[in-house]
Amino acid sequence: MKRFNYKARDKSTGKTVKGNIQADSESIAGKLLIEQGYIPESVVEEGANNPLGKSAQRITTKDRIMFTRQLATLVGAGLPLSASLRTVADQTESKGMRAVAEEIITAVESGKSLYEAFSAHPEIFNNVYISLIQAGEASGTLDLALRRLAEQEEKDASMMSKIKGALVYPAIILVVIIAVLAFMLIAVVPQVRDLYHDMGQELPALTQALVNITEFFGQFWWLVIGIVGATIWGSWKFVKHTPKGREVADTFKIHVPIFGGLFRKLYVSRFARTAEMLIATGVPMLESITIAINAVSNVVVEKEYSKALDIIKSGKPLSDALSGLDYMLPLIPQMAGIGEQSGKIDEMLGKAAQVYENELDEQINNISTMIEPILMVIMAGLIGIVVGGTLLPIYSLVNSVTA
């Protein structure tokens, strides 16, 4: 089916509305609008140069959270679903999100369920989102499902933002180290070389090595930039576009010093929090765990966690299925066991997730303190080498002259 941008007038209110509609042809799109109570003024097929079509590709996590939060509020207040969607679409500032909302409105007004309308946009709404919408519709708790979705996405976005923020400080220090080394090599080392050359003295081994490095970069800087650029580009393509590259990157995340523990707790808390939401909303246990595993977003961890599915299918409880899995921290199966005994497995998984989320917050806040000594040692060592290859030969040369 094709997508058309339309401008029409509402028969009942006389107001002009704009939006998107899917149909096989322009004439069918016009008929659908008439059936929905609109008088079409213009119906144009969406092309590659249409800014509305392009903007639909630029929907941020914040846009989706705001859309979900507002929709939950309106549905919870008792406003009809179609009116709630229309109100949210009118209020959103994101053109991309508004375009998607218009398509969802069109689908709902044509008789489809909200679950089916959201399912048409898997690039924006993932399996967790769609499953919760389906369960919320089936159980009559759509507002609760939407509210939980918004809260979970806010927590996840906040946690990832904190982890990225914790990486900023080490990145700044590394840039400073590189800048200092570059200055020493470019400005100081050549002067030492010229001084020794003018006095007919042979350069010390360390100084000669620094001179060779400086001359190499001076003559072949274009080659260095090309190799570094090609390495970065090739690594990005390998990680982003090949299954093996994704596996290598995900393995690195969970084993890298200092940050490996952070990522493991992030994945465990994400798994437990997602399972809690799904089970509490009424999604069957096996389906909830399957979706929660896929929500982890690390192929290595997902592969390991997937071993639990066969154990659950064999009739064993969730606590047994999760016990002994690599990368599964011990509190999760313990709390799952307590939940199985008390009949509150969703609540216990939520409490376990909260424990690890709190630990993550504390570790992220302390990350600079953990990394700073290591970076200082690295900086001192590299600068010490450069200083040793520049200042010490000068002192040696002065001493030999005065002697």
pTM of the model: 0.68
Please list the ranges in the chain whose pLDDT falls under 70.
1-2, 14, 25-27, 41, 46-57, 368, 397-403
Q: How high is the pLDDT of residue 209?
A: 86
- Could you give the C-alpha distances from 193 to 10, 205, 325, 403, in angstroms and in order? 82, 12, 60, 21
| 369: amino acid identity, one letter | T
Q: Which domains does the chain have, with CATH numbers?
A: 2-150 (1.20.81.30), 153-403 (1.20.81.30)
Residues ≥6 apart with Cβ < 8 Å to 204: 389, 392, 393, 396
pLDDT tens for each residue of 50-88: 444 444 457 888 888 889 989 989 988 888 888 899 999
pLDDT of residue 312: 92
**7 beta partners:** 18, 42
Average pLDDT, the chain: 83
pLDDT in tens, 336-392: 999 999 989 999 999 999 999 899 888 887 776 777 788 788 888 887 887 777 777
